[in-house]
C-alpha cells in the first residue's frame, strides 16, 4: 500500500490483569493451578477478592466460568462424524495439486529462491481450467462441511450447558444483577453483579471461578508487496470463498473498496450510539477490514476475494468489553451469512485473562477457526505482550516497519511492537510472526477510511500491531483458498516459511520470523496433520534439506476444567512435544527443539543432507494430540525401522567339525539404521571357532541387509538352540531384535538317490537328480528335525495337473505338527506343488529353485518358517503361496514371471498377517512389498504390494505393475481399514486393486486398467469410498463387489471390459452414483442376489446395459428429481442414462 505523511497517535493498551499461579516450574513437573480450599471466595479472581475485602459497594462486571465444559468432547464426536466428508474433499484438492508437483523433490539439491519462483510458475501453470474449477467446487464443499461441523458442535454444546447457565442467570438476577452474555461453546456467563453478591454466586456448584471483566482497546500499496501477497493473486488465489470476521469497532460497509466484500453486519456494543449501528464510529475497524480485503486497485487488501463479516464489538472511543467480543465471535461463526473461517482481533489489554484466553484457545482448537491477534503496542520493552495475544492457539502478530518500500531488506521491527518473553519463566515464543504495521511517524499503513464521505480522503494511514494483524488474517484466507484450511496447518506453514530476523532462530522480538508469502506459496503442499497418543509417542519423517531449511511443529493447548475446585484441575499448559533433526546417512543429531511449555517447535538444517525429523511426545495433556508439521518439499512420513534378524545354518553341523551360522540383519524400513551389531548367545557344547562375537555391521541402508557370519564348533551331537541379538542405536532410539535357531549336530548324513519317505530325524542328502518321476509325491517328510539337502540336484515330475496334485517335496504328518524341517539346495520342476509344507513350523526353505510347477513353494497352515534365497519363477500359477500361515519370514527370494502372483496370499484372519516379507524381487526386477502395520508410502514403483492388518495406511502415487508379458500381481489389502489409496496405478496386473475384508477405506483418483481379471474388486468389504477411478479394458470386470455392503462408488469409469462394467454379487446397500459403465462386452451393470442399492445418475452405454442373476433383489434406480447437471450434461439429476452404441437411449429423471 502507498504511504501518506499522515501522522496518527498510536493507541496504547489499557487495563490490568494478574496471572494466577505465577510460580516457576520445571519441565518434569507439569504445574496446575490447584487448591484444597472449597470456600466460595476461593473461586474469586485476585482483583475481585481485593474488591470484596475492601468493603466497597456498587456493582462490578464479571466473567463467571462454569465447571461443566463439554465442548471438547462434543467437538471430537462431531468431527469424527464428518471426518470422511472432510477427508475426501481435502484429498481431492491435494491430489490435483500433487499431480503438478510430481518430481519436485528431485531437483531439491540445487534449489534456490529464484528456482522456486520458476517452479511456482510451472506448478500452477500446469493445472488445467477444469482442474482449477474442480478445486473451487471442492473448496466450497469443504467450507460448507466445516461450517456444518461448527453449527452442530455449538448446537450440541448449547443444549448441554444451558441448564447450568440458567441456574447462574437466576442467581444473578435474584441478587439484582444483569446477565450480559451467555457462552455458546465455552461455558461462561458475563454479568454485572453487586459486589456483596459475589460469594453467593461463587458458592453455586455450577461455578468454577469468577474473574473481573476487562476492557480492551483497539491497537492503532507497499505493505502487501512486502509480504508478497501478489504471488497468491497471480496464481488465482484471492481468499475466496472464505470469510474473515473483523471483530473491531465496526466497518463502514458502504466504502467503495469494501462494499462488495462485506457480507454481513451486526453490533454487539450495548451502550451509547454504537449500540444502534454496525457502522464504524471510530475508524479502526474499517481500516483493519481494508487491510484484509480492500478491492481498490492501488490500496488492495491482502485477500481481496475474501468476505468480510463486520462483527462490531468496539465503541466510538476504541474500547471493547470482553462480553461484546465473545458475543460478536459467537454470532460471526454461527449466525452470520457465510460463517467466519478466520477471526481478526486487533485489540488487547495488559496482563492476562484466563477465561478470555480459554475462549480463544477453544475457538481454534475445538471449532477450527483460525485467529490472528495483535501482540500489542507496548514495546520496545520486554514482557509487553498483551492478552489475548498470550493465548497458545492463536497467531500473535508483531509489527514491522517496511520503510514505505516493497524491498524487504530495509524492513525492521517497529519500535512500538510488543516483545516477549512471556512472564514467569515461560519459554513460549511470542509474538508468533511479524507483518508490516507501519511506523507511527511518517510511514503508516494506508487503508480504508471510515469517514470517506464528502471531501474526506477515501484512504488514511494508521500504524500499529492492529495493522499487522489483518495482514496475517488475510494471509490465512489466501492459504484457505489455496487448499490449506486447518488452523494448525496455516500456523505451521506461515511460521516455517517466515524469514528469520534478529538473532538466529526464534527470539522475543521477531518471534519465529517475518511473514513471507512468496515462500509460503511454494510450500502449500508441504504441511501435513498427524497425531501422537499414549501408545504412539514418536513419529518420523524423511526428506532432502539444504542449509537453513526448517521444519516447524505446531499443536494446540487443550484446556480442561476437571471438577468444582478453583483454581481446579485446570491444565494451564499444552502437551510437551519435542522435535529432533538427524542426518539419515550417518545418524548424527543435527538440531533439536525441546522447549518445555511451548506449543511450537522448530529445527533448522545446517547442511545439505537427507534428514530425518523425529517428533517425540515428551508428555501429553490429552491423547491423541493432533499436530501440524511444515517442512520443505519432498518429505514423507516414515517409521523407525525394525531390524529383522534371520538366522540360518550355512552347512550341516557334525561333531568336532566347524560349521557356520549366518545372521542376516535386515533393515525393512525406509531410512537407514546405524551402529548395528549382532551378538550370539551359545549353548553348552558349542563354542566360537574363529572371528569375533559380537560382529559390528555399522550402517544398514533402507531395505538392505548385512550379514554377520560366525564360525562355530560343537563337541557333542544332539539338538541345540543358538540365540542372536541385533542392536542398533539410531535417531536417539535403541532398536533391538532377537531370534533363534534350533540346530542338530549329527555324526554323519544319509544318502538319497530315489523318491522316498523320510520318517526319522537326521540329515539326508540327494546324490543324484530324479527326472520325469511318475510318483504322486517324490519326497515325503513325516518327521521333525530333518535336513533334506538337494545338493544342487533336480527332482522333476510329469506335470499331470490338478486332479492328482503331485508334489515334489511334501512336508506333512497327518497326526502331528512337524518342526525344524529344512529343505535346501534343491531344484523342483513339473509338479503341482514344487515344495509343499502343510502344518509345519520353525522350518527352513533355503536356496531352492522351483519353476514350471503350478505353485513353486506352497505353505498351508504353517508358521514361523524361514524362506530365504529361493527362486520361484515361471510357474503356471503362483511363485510362493501362503495359505492361513503366520509368522513366516520371506527374505531375499526371487519370484518372477509367474502366471497369477509372484507371491500369493490367502489369510483367513488377522492372525495370518504376522509374516515378514522383505527384500524380495518380483516380475520386472521390481520389489515386492508387504506391510502388516500402518504405512505411508509414496512415489514408488513395485511389482506387487500386499497390505494385511495395515489399518490407517496412506498410499499415494504408487505404481504396481507385474510382468511385461503376463497379467500378474497387483495391489492387495486384507483386513485393512481406514486407509487411503490415492493417485495409484495398477494396470496390467492380475486384479488391479483388491480389498478383502477391508472397511472404511478411500480409493481416489486411481487407475486399474487392462488387468487379467478385474480392475477393482471388493470382497466382504464395507463402507469404502471409490471416487474418480478408472477400471477399463479388464479381462473380466471393471469394478466387482462380492458380499460387500455400504460402499460408495462415485465418478468412476468402468468401460470396455470383457464382461461387466460394474458387477454386484451378494452385495447390498451400496451407493452407485455418477459413474460411467460403457462399451463393455457383457453388460454395463450386473446384479446377482443384491438388494438395497442406490443406483442413479450413471451412464450406461453398452449393447447390453443390464443383467441379473437368478435373485435380483430390490434396488433403487432413481433419486428425487433435483436441479443440477447430470452425468450427460442435462439440467436435472434423477435416474440413470441408458444408451446404446448406435446412439439410441433415454434418461430416467423421475
Cβ atoms within 10 Å, residue 203: 14
Distances (CA, A) of 301 to 212, 249, 491: 37, 18, 20
Rounded CA Rg of the chain: 35
The single-letter DSSP state of residue 300 is B
Rounded-to-integer distance, Cα 1136 and Cα 797, Å = 56
Distances (CA, A) of 1009 to 608, 1030, 1038: 41, 7, 8
Rounded-to-integer distance, Cα 932 and Cα 920, Å = 16
Q: Which of 221, 248, 443, 1055 is catalytic?
A: 248
Q: Is the dihedral of CA 466, 468, 472, 477 positive or negative?
A: positive
Rounded-to-integer distance, Cα 811 and Cα 859, Å = 10
Rounded-to-integer distance, Cα 999 and Cα 891, Å = 29
Between strands 849-851 and 1132-1133, the pairing is unpaired
Query: Beta strands of 456-549 (E only): which ranges?
Result: 459-462, 527-532, 538-545
- The three-state secondary structure class of 1100 is strand
Closest CA to 226 of 458, 409, 14: 409
With cell 514408488, the residue in question is: 940
- Output the nine-digit C-alpha cell for 189: 456467563
Q: CB under 8 Å to 975, separation ≥6 — which residues?
A: 907, 909, 910, 913, 948, 949, 996, 997, 998
Q: Which of 466, 598, 666, 1045 is catalytic?
A: 466
217 as an active site residue: the answer is: no
- The three-state secondary structure class of 658 is strand
Q: CB under 8 Å to 254, separation ≥6 — which residues?
A: none
Looking at the chain, how many residues does it have?
A: 1150
Rounded-to-integer distance, Cα 504 and Cα 457, Å = 42
Name 1139's bridge partners: 1101, 1145
8 Å CB contact between 232 and 271: no
Phi, psi for residue 167 in degrees, rounded to 5: -65, -40
253 as an active site residue: the answer is: no
Q: Which of 284, 287, 674, 833 is catalytic?
A: 284
Three-state secondary structure of 570-587: EECCCCEEEEEEEECCCC
8 Å CB contact between 317 and 14: no
Rounded-to-integer distance, Cα 208 and Cα 425, Å = 27
**H or E element at residue 152:** helix 129-174
Rounded-to-integer distance, Cα 993 and Cα 188, Å = 52
Rounded-to-integer distance, Cα 460 and Cα 280, Å = 15
Cβ atoms within 10 Å, residue 546: 15
8 Å CB contact between 926 and 941: yes
- Output the nine-digit C-alpha cell for 334: 454461527
**H or E element at residue 544:** strand 538-545
248 as an active site residue: the answer is: yes
8 Å CB contact between 829 and 853: yes
Q: Which sequence positions are flagged as catalytic? A: 248, 284, 466
Amino acid at each position: 500500500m502507498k504511504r501518506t505523511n499522515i501522522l496518527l497517535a498510536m493507541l496504547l493498551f489499557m487495563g490490568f490483569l494478574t496471572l494466577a499461579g505465577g510460580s516457576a516450574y520445571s519441565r518434569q513437573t507439569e504445574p496446575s493451578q490447584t487448591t484444597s480450599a472449597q470456600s466460595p471466595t476461593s473461586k474469586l479472581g485476585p482483583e475481585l477478592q481485593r474488591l470484596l475485602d475492601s468493603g466497597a459497594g456498587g456493582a462490578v462486571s464479571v466473567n463467571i466460568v462454569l465447571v461443566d465444559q463439554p465442548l471438547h468432547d462434543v467437538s471430537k464426536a462431531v468431527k469424527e462424524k464428518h471426518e470422511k466428508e472432510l477427508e475426501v474433499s481435502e484429498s481431492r484438492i491435494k491430489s490435483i495439486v500433487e499431480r503438478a508437483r510430481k518430481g519436485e523433490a528431485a531437483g531439491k539439491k540445487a534449489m534456490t529462491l529464484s528456482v522456486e519462483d520458476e517452479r511456482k510458475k510451472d506448478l500452477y501453470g500446469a493445472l488445467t481450467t477444469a482442474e482449477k474449477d474442480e478445486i473451487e467446487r471442492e473448496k466450497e464443499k469443504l467450507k460448507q462441511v466445516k461450517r456444518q461441523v461448527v453449527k452442530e458442535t455449538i448446537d450440541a454444546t448449547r443444549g448441554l450447558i444451558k441448564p447450568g447457565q440458567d441456574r447462574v442467570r437466576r442467581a444473578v438476577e435474584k441478587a439484582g444483577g444483569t446477565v450480559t452474555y451467555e457462552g455458546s461453546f465455552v461455558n461462561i456467563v458475563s454479568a454485572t453483579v453487586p459486589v456483596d453478591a459475589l460469594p453467593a454466586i461463587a458458592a453455586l456448584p455450577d461455578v468454577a471461578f469468577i474473574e473481573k471483566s476487562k476492557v480492551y482497546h483497539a491497537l492503532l500499496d507497499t505493505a502487501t508487496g512486502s509480504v508478497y501477497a501478489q504471488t497468491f493473486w497471480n496464481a488465482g488465489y484471492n481468499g475466496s470463498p472464505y470469510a474473515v470476521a473483523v471483530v473491531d469497532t465496526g466497518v463502514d460497509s458502504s466504502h467503495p473498496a469494501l462494499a462488495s466484500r462485506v457480507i454481513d453486519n451486526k453490533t454487539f456494543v450495548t451502550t451509547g450510539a454504537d449500540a444502534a449501528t454496525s457502522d464504524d464510529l471510530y475508524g479502526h475497524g474499517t481500516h483493519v477490514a481494508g487491510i484484509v480485503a480492500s478491492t481498490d486497485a492501488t490500496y488492495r487488501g491482502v485477500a481481496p476475494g475474501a468476505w468480510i463479516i463486520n462483527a462490531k464489538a468496539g465503541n466510538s472511543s476504541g474500547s471493547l468489553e470482553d462480553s461484546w467480543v465473545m458475543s460478536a465471535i459467537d454470532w460471526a461463526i454461527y449466525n452470520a451469512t457465510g460463517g467466519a473461517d478466520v477471526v481478526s482481533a486487533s485489540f488487547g489489554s495488559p496482563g492476562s485473562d484466563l477465561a478470555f484466553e480459554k475462549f480463544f484457545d477453544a475457538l481454534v482448537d475445538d471449532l477450527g477457526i483460525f485467529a490472528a491477534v495483535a501482540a500489542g503496542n507496548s514495546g520496545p520493552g520486554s514482557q509487553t505482550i498483551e492478552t489475548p495475544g498470550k493465548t497458545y492457539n492463536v497467531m500473535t502478530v508483531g509489527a514491522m516497519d517496511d520503510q514505505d518500500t516493497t524491498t524487504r531488506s530495509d524492513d525492521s521491527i517497529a519500535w512500538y511492537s510488543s516483545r516477549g518473553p512471556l512472564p514467569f519463566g515461560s519459554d513460549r515464543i511470542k509474538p508468533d510472526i511479524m507483518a508490516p504495521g507501519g511506523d507511527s511517524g511518517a510511514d503508516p499503513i494506508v487503508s480504508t477510511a471510515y469517514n470517506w464521505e464528502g471531501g474526506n480522503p477515501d484512504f488514511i494511514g494508521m500504524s500499529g500491531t492492529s495493522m499487522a494483524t489483518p495482514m496475517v488474517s488475510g494471509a490465512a484466507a489466501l492459504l484457505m483458498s489455496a487448499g490449506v484450511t486447518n488452523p494448525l496447518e496455516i500456523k505451521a506453514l506461515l511460521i516455517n516459511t517466515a524469514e528469520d530476523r534478529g538473532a538466529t532462530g526464534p527470539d522475543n522480538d521477531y518471534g519465529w520470523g517475518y511473514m513471507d508469502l512468496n515462500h509460503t506459496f511454494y510450500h502449500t503442499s508441504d504441511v501435513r496433520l498427524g497425531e501422537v497418543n499414549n501408545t504412539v509417542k514418536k513419529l518420523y519423517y524423511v526428506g532432502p534439506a539444504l542449509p537453513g531449511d526448517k521444519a516447524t511443529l505446531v499443536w494446540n493447548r487443550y484446556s480442561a476444567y476437571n471438577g468444582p475446585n478453583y483454581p481446579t484441575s485446570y491444565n494451564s499448559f499444552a502437551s510437551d512435544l519435542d522435535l529432533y533433526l538427524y542426518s539419515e546417512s550417518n545418524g548424527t543429531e543435527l538440531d533439536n527443539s525441546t522447549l518445555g511449555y511451548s506449543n511450537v517447535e522448530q529445527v533448522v538444517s545446517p547442511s545439505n543432507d537427507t534428514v530425518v525429523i523425529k517428533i517425540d511426545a515428551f508428555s501429553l495433556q490429552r491423547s491423541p494430540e493432533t499436530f501440524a508439521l511444515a517442512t520443505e518439499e519432498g518429505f514423507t512420513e516414515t517409521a523407525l525401522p525394525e531390524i529383522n534378524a534371520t538366522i540360518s545354518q550355512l552347512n550341516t553341523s557334525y561333531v568336532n567339525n566347524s560349521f557356520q551360522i549366518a545372521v542376516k540383519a535386515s533393515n525393512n524400513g525406509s531410512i537407514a539404521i546405524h551402529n548395528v551389531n549382532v551378538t550370539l548367545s551359545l549353548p553348552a557344547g558349542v563354542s566360537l571357532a574363529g572371528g569375533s562375537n559380537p560382529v559390528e555391521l555399522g550402517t544398514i541402508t533402507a531395505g538392505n541387509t548385512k550379514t554377520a557370519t560366525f564360525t562355530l564348533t560343537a563337541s557333542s551331537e544332539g539338538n541345540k538352540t543358538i540365540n542372536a541379538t541385533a542392536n542398533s542405536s539410531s535417531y536417539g532410539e535403541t532398536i533391538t531384535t532377537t531370534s533363534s535357531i534350533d540346530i542338530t549336530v549329527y555324526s554323519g548324513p544319509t544318502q538319497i538317490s530315489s523318491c522316498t519317505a523320510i520318517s526319522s530325524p537326521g540329515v539326508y542328502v540327494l546324490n543324484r537328480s530324479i527326472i520325469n518321476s511318475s510318483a504322486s509325491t517324490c519326497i515325503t517328510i513325516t518327521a521333525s528335525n530333518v535336513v533334506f539337502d538337494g545338493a544342487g540336484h533336480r527332482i522333476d515330475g510329469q506335470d499331470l495337473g490338478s486332479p492328482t496334485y503331485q508334489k515334489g517335496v511334501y512336508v506333512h504328518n497327518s497326526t502331528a505338527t512337524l518342526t525344524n524341517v529344512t529343505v535346501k539346495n534343491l531344484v523342483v520342476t513339473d509338479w503341482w506343488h514344487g515344495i509343499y509344507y502343510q502344518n509345519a513350523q520353525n522350518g527352513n526353505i533355503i536356496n531352492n529353485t522351483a519353476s514350471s510347477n503350478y505353485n513353486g513353494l506352497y505353505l498351508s497352515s504353517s508358521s514361523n518358517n524361514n524362506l530365504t534365497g529361493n527362486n520361484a519363477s515361471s510357474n503356471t500359477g503362483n511363485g510362493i503361496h501362503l495359505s492361513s500361515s503366520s509368522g513366516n519370514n520371506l527374505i531375499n527370494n526371487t519370484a518372477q514371471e509367474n502366471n497369477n502372483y509372484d507371491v500369493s496370499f490367502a489369510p483367513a484372519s488377522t492372525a495370518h498377517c504376522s509374516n515378514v516379507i522383505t527384500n524380495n524381487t518380483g516380475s520386472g526386477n521390481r520389489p515386492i512389498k508387504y506391510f502388516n502395520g500402518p504405512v505411508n508410502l509414496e512415489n514408488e514403483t513395485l511389482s506387487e504390494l500386499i497390505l494385511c492388518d495395515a489399518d490407517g495406511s496412506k498410499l499415494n502415487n504408487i505404481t504396481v505393475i507385474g510382468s511385461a508379458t503376463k497379467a500378474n500381481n497387483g495391489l492387495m489389502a486384507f483386513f485393512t481399514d481406514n486407509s487411503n489409496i490415492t493417485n495409484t496405478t495398477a494396470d496390467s496386473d492380475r486384479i488391479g486393486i483388491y480389498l478383502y475384508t477391508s472397511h472404511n477405506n478411500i480409493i481416489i483418483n486411481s487407475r486399474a486398467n487392462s488387468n487379467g481379471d478385474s480392475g477393482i474388486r471388493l470382497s466382504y468389504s464395507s463402507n469404502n469410498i471409490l471416487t474418480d477411478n478408472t477400471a477399463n479394458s479388464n479381462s473380466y470386470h471393471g469394478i466387482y463387489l462380492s458380499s460387500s455392503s455400504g460402499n460408495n462408488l462415485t465418478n468412476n469409469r468402468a468401460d470396455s471390459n470383457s464382461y461387466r462394467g460394474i458387477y454386484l454379487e451378494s452385495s447390498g446397500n451400496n451407493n452407485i452414483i455418477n459413474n460411467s459403465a460403457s462399451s463393455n462386452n457383457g453388460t454395463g451393470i450386473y446384479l446377482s442376489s443384491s438388494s438395497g442399492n442406490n443406483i442413479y445418475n450413471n451412464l450406461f452405454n453398452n449393447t447390453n446395459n443390464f443383467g441379473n442373476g437368478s435373485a435380483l433383489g430390490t434396488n433403487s434406480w432413481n433419486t428425487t428429481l433435483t436441479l443440477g447437471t447430470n452425468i450427460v450434461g442435462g439440467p436435472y439429476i434423477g435416474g440413470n442414462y441408458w444408451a446404446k452404441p448406435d446412439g439410441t437411449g433415454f434418461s430416467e429423471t423421475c
